Amino acid sequence: MSDAPLLDNQPFLFDPADFPPLDNLPVEPGIPTIDSPVWTDNKAHFIMRYLRYFVFITKHGTYIDGFAGPQSESMTDCWAAKLVLESEPRWMRHFHLCDKKRSQVALLERIKATQPLTDSSGGKIPRDINIYGGDFNRKVEEILNSGSITEKEATFCLLDQRTFECHWSTVERLARYKALGHKIEIFYFLANGWLERAFAAQRDFDVRALWWGRDDWRELDKMSREERRDALVHRFKKDLGYQSVKAWPIFERENGGAVMYYMIHATDHPEAPKLMSRAYRKTVKPLEPIEQLKLELGLEPT
């Protein structure tokens, strides 16, 4: 006798939604819900703010920026590479800044030239700033093998592409570079507000295939925006093995509007999601004084 009719009539004892999926992925740490948006003009401040918090914990770090030229060549005040270079205290030790466009590389060289070599007490600031002209998908190998990225070096990589410029194989290369320590932390920008239009306009299928990096790239047209976001988050977690992966919405304008990008933050560090949540909430607020920040982050005051 089959059990099927009995089971069909049986009410659920438990709601299936109460059970996590059976894929053994690490549980996401809880963070406060978002109550104020970060919008496109502030996305660079958001990244800088997070890194400022992080170096209070590590006191060192390497910053890779694969698509490092400013969003607008005339508006360099909200430019991530510049803001991270100028962020105090200047504890980030190694910078690798890459851009494909010659005029953007010139701007990177110019900002490098204006950086102070000594601090307010006359001590030498121990840092190197390396500028690369060319396609980051090719340059990534040179950067990774430059010698600064040891297993213990806290390393962050901003992938602020416009739409399809960053190949998935590049993301994989970064994620798999370290063998033992926390993986290179990634800030990956996923275009959202114009992605359907970009798909329709992009007739070179190789571009899409390299960007997505999997044979199912043809399915992307049929997915909703949320499905695409969730698929990428899942890949960072399942295929690349990050402990926490969260997609932070970047809105069109101050009072909301469309989600223009998701900033997908992939990290292995247990403190990182909390610091990113703090950075999101504080992005447009004045910088906390150093002593206040130390107290709030639970660090020893000086």
List, edge to edge, every strand of the sheet that includes 244-253. 38-39, 244-253, 256-267, 185-191, 155-159, 62-65, 94-99, 128-133
* Residue 121, CA atoms < 13 Å, CB-side half-sphere: 2
Looking at the Cβ atoms of 31 and 287, the one nearer to ligand SAM is: 287
Torsion of CA 91, 237, 213, 165, to 10 degrees: -30
Q: Give residue number: closest CB to ligand SAM.
A: 69
The DSSP code sequence of 86-132 is: H-SS----EEEEEESSHHHHHHHHHHHHTS-SB-TTSPBP--EEEEE
Closer residue to ligand SAM, CB minimum distance, 161 or 243 = 161
Backbone angles phi, psi at 257, to 5 degrees: 75, -160
Shortest Å, Cβ 60 to ligand SAM: 22
Q: How far is the CB of 266 from ligand SAM (least distance, A)?
A: 17
Q: Give the residue with the Cβ less far from ligand SAM, 71 or 130.
A: 71
User: Least distance (Å) from ligand SAM to the CB of residue 298?
Assistant: 30
Q: Amino acid identity of 295?
A: L
Residue 20 Cβ vs ligand SAM, minimum distance, rounded to whole Å:
35
Residues contributing to the site for ligand SAM (CB under 6 A): 44, 66-67, 69-71, 79-80, 98-101, 104, 135-137, 160, 162, 165
Name the minimum Å distance from CB 124 to ligand SAM. 28
- Please identify, using beta-carbon distances, which residue of 182 and 184 lies nearer to ligand SAM: 184
Residue 59 or 101 with smaller CB distance to ligand SAM: 101
